[in-house]
């Protein structure tokens, strides 16, 4: 019963993901939480208040001024009641209204009137999520301390595939448990906000270099180390942007997520954000070479043999190393199967890095696609530090605590 005695106010705005919210309410109650529900008028088009009244055992608040009922300062009472307000699903309209201070219904008024933490689980079509106003509003939410959980990637009700789905109720539950501090996902000594006020730019995953419209060159990177770093950095108080190549993982909550595909796109995304960054951690595996020219049409297998001409891609880390200013810290990863330390030291110097994290894909349970990693930390001064095999989340926390204070 991780939420025993906790009070959770769940707010629904109008989206198809409303149908998942009774499961969230039930899961919260199973963990011992007391739950009250409020809905916008649009949300009641997707699921009835009666369903949520039945699951939660309490009347659902919809109207600011219900007929034939004296409600007094209902919005203030509701706003002061919970330990956390959770808006799920949260529409683009909700983001827009709160970001500009518009409170024209009960739900938005309660959110603005509430002194407790606010968690928001967006759900919308990928184009709506990617729209500059929504992006700006989501960034603003994070800035004012709202926790934005998701959205996830996958099939949408509108037949699109992309980022925009509401994360599953169990992920929202886990985020609430973390927020209310009953179930720590990390040992207590690792939750000190040692990166508060710092902006981290983290890259993760592989890149894909197109050969033609259906084929590409890529590598085995899963993105796990970079995603673990991004998640840990948020918990340590940092403002985090995660630039990720194609990965099966869903974006950790609380990060500004920038999906890319090619090394060149990753370069553009990193270049643009680098000037405002305190720490750049390049955990991604960009390509070193890309097809010199991607064919516009699918290549047919006409001949027995085929030559593919490759050209070098831009070395992102090296380019940022050349632009690095005082107060900026650059951390690279080196994947080496032979002469690890000597090669890593060479890269550290050539790319003007402050630290390089060496790992070996031939080590058992390490590097590509494993949940664990065995790394050696190399800095310009001092001896290499060999860390024991550990899960990637612990390695991430240990690494971030080591670099805290460097920028
Ligand atoms: N890196 C990068 N841009 C590239 C290639 C690599 O920014 N085009 C970064 C990686 O993210 C990593 C570091 O450089 O942090 C080292 O990557 P690695 O593949 O080990 O080294 P390379 O410099 O590519 O050298 P080599 O492939 O010869 O080992």
Q: Which pLDDT does position 152 carry in this prediction?
A: 85
Query: CA-CA distance, 24 to 337, in Å (whole number)?
Result: 46
295 CA to centre of ligand 1 in angstroms? 26
pLDDT in tens, 208-258: 999 999 999 999 999 999 999 999 999 898 999 999 999 988 788 788 899
365 Cα to the center of ligand 1, angstroms: 21
Checking if the pLDDT of 68 tops 70, the result is no
132 pLDDT above the threshold of 60:
yes
Centroid of ligand 1 to alpha carbon of 32 (angstroms)? 48
pLDDT band for position 160 (cuts 50, 70, 90): confident
What pLDDT is recorded for position 65?
A: 80
* 286 CA distance to ligand 1 middle (Å): 7
When pLDDT is averaged across residues 384-404 and rounded to a whole number, the result is: 91
Of ligand 1's atoms, which has the minimum distance to the CA of residue 332? 15
Atom of ligand 1 nearest to the CA of 351: 14
Q: Which is catalytic among the residues 102, 158, 214, 362?
A: 158
* Ligand 1 binding pocket mutation candidate from 318, 347, 356 (most atoms within 8 A of CB): 347
For the chain, the average pLDDT equals 91
pLDDT at 70 over 80: no
For residue 122, pLDDT beyond 70:
yes
109-118 per-position pLDDT tens digit: 999 999 999 9
279-328 per-position pLDDT tens digit: 999 999 999 999 999 999 999 888 778 889 999 999 999 999 999 999 99
Q: What is the mean pLDDT of residues 21-28?
A: 96
Q: Would you say residue 94 has pLDDT above 80?
A: yes
Question: Using a 6 Å CB cutoff, which residues line ligand 1?
Answer: 263, 282, 284, 286, 288, 313, 315-317, 332-335, 347
In a 13 Å sphere around the CA of 247, the CA atoms on its Cβ side amount to: 30
* C-alpha of residue 334 to centroid of ligand 1, in Å: 7
Which tops the pLDDT comparison, 214 or 156? 214
Closest atom of ligand 1 to CA, residue 285: 11
Percent of the chain with pLDDT over 70: 96
pTM of the predicted model, to two decimals?
0.62
* Angle, helix 224-235 to helix 392-403, in steps of 10 degrees: 50
Using the atom order of ligand 1, give the atom closest to the CA of residue 287: 8
At residue 143 the predicted structure's pLDDT band, cuts being 50, 70 and 90, is confident
- Going by alpha carbons, the residue nearest to atom 28 of ligand 1 is 288
CA distance 135 to 158: 20
284 CA: nearest ligand 1 atom: 11
Residue nearest to atom 9 of ligand 1 (CA): 317
Which residue from 268, 280, 286 has its CB within 8 A of the most atoms of ligand 1, so it is best to mutate? Answer: 286
Higher pLDDT, 45 or 189: 45
Q: Is the pLDDT of residue 363 over 90?
A: no
Query: In testing the pocket of ligand 1, which one of 316, 339, 341 has its CB within 8 Å of the most ligand atoms?
Result: 316
| pLDDT for residue 72 | 66
At 124 the pLDDT is: 94
Q: Is 207 a catalytic residue?
A: no
106 falls in which pLDDT band (50, 70, 90)?
very high
Q: What is the mean pLDDT of residues 355-373?
A: 83
Q: Collect all residues with Cβ–Cβ distance below 8 Å to 190 and sequence separation of at least 6.
A: 232, 235, 236, 397, 401
Burial class (CB in 10 A: 0-12, 13-18, 19+), 89: buried
Q: Collapsing DSSP states into helix, strand and coil, what is residue 257? A: strand
The reported pLDDT for the residue numbered 205 is 96
Measured over all CA atoms, what is the biggest interatomic distance in the chain, rounded to whole angstroms? 82
Please tell me the predicted confidence (pLDDT) of residue 178: 83
What percentage of the chain exceeds 90 in pLDDT? 71
């Amino acid at each position: 019963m991780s939420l025993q005695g906790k009070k959770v106010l769940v707010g629904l705005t109008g989206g198809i993901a409303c149908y998942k919210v009774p499961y969230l309410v039930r899961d919260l109650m199973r963990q011992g939480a007391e739950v009250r529900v409020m809905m916008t008028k649009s949300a009641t088009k997707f699921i009835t208040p009666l369903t949520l009244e039945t699951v939660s055992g309490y009347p659902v608040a919809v109207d600011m001024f219900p007929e034939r009922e004296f409600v007094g300062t209902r919005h203030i009472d509701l706003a002061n009641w919970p330990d956390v307000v959770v808006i799920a699903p949260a529409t683009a309209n909700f983001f827009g209204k709160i970001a500009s201070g518009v409170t024209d219904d009960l739900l938005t008024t309660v959110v603005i009137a509430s002194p407790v933490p606010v968690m928001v689980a967006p759900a919308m079509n990928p184009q709506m999520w990617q729209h500059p106003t929504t992006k700006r509003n989501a960034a603003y939410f994070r800035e004012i301390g709202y926790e934005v959980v998701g959205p996830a990637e996958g099939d949408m009700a509108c037949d699109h595939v992309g980022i925009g789905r509401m994360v599953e109720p169990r992920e929202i539950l886990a985020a609430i448990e973390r927020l209310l501090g009953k179930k720590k996902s990390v040992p207590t000594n690792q939750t000190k906000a040692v990166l508060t006020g710092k902006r981290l730019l983290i890259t993760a995953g592989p890149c894909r270099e197109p050969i033609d419209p259906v084929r590409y060159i890529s590598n085995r990177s899963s993105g796990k180390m970079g995603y673990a770093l991004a998640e840990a950095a948020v918990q340590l108080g940092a403002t985090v942007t995660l630039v990720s190549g194609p990965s099966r993982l869903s974006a950790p909550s609380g990060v500004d997520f920038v999906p890319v595909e090619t090394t060149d796109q990753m370069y553009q995304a990193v270049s643009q954000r680098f000037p405002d960054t305190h720490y750049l951690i390049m955990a991604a595996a960009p390509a070193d070479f890309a097809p010199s020219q991607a064919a516009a049409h699918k290549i047919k297998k006409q001949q027995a043999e085929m030559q593919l001409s490759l050209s070098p891609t831009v070395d992102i880390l090296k380019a940022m190393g050349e632009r690095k200013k005082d107060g900026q810290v650059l951390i690279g990863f080196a994947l080496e199967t032979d002469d690890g330390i000597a090669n890593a030291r060479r890269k550290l110097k050539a790319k003007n890095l402050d630290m390089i994290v060496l790992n070996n894909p031939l080590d058992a349970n390490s590097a590509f696609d494993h949940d664990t990693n065995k790394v050696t930390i190399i800095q310009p001064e001092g001896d290499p530090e060999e860390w024991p095999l550990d899960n990637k989340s612990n390695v991430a926390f240990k690494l971030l605590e080591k670099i805290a204070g460097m920028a």
